[in-house]
Amino acid sequence: MNLGTLIVGPREHVVALAELDDTAVAELGPLLRDAARVVETLCRPEQTYMCMWSHGRDARKHLHIAVQPVTAEVGARYGGLRSEQLQARMLADGHEPDVREVEQFCRRARELFLVITDSSGERGDGVPR
């Protein structure tokens, strides 16, 4: 996936949203919102995709939710493809962002997550202060 894509996944082994307990469900909404805010702030995308995957080779493997910024540049690089067609092409191309750029993005994202969670009155782990 492109630079700025964040993957959200449960700590426990879960393969479907339907398996999440009430605590995990209560934490997931704010976490996805905050991840989208980080992506929107740092990447300034035309669109932010959120999609769930759990595929393994022959069965469900582990729940992952991708929070993916789609900028005009990304769209142009892939001939204007959108949605699952864009993601499929990106995965098939196997292009990986530069490691230094990923590390820099991760530092900035961590800092912004701290700011966002501090302003929302949470410690950063979904627990109110």
pLDDT of residue 59: 87
Residue 121 has pLDDT above 70, yes or no: no
Residue 115 zone, left/alpha/beta (φ > 0; ψ -120 to 50; rest): alpha
pLDDT of residue 11: 87
Residue 102 has pLDDT above 60, yes or no: yes
Residues 1-20 as b or e (16 or more Cβ within 10 Å = b) = bbbbbbebebeeebeeeeeb
pLDDT digits (tens, 9 = 90+) for 41-72: 999 999 999 999 888 888 899 999 999 999 99
State the average pLDDT for the chain. 90
pLDDT category of residue 123 using cuts at 50, 70 and 90? very low
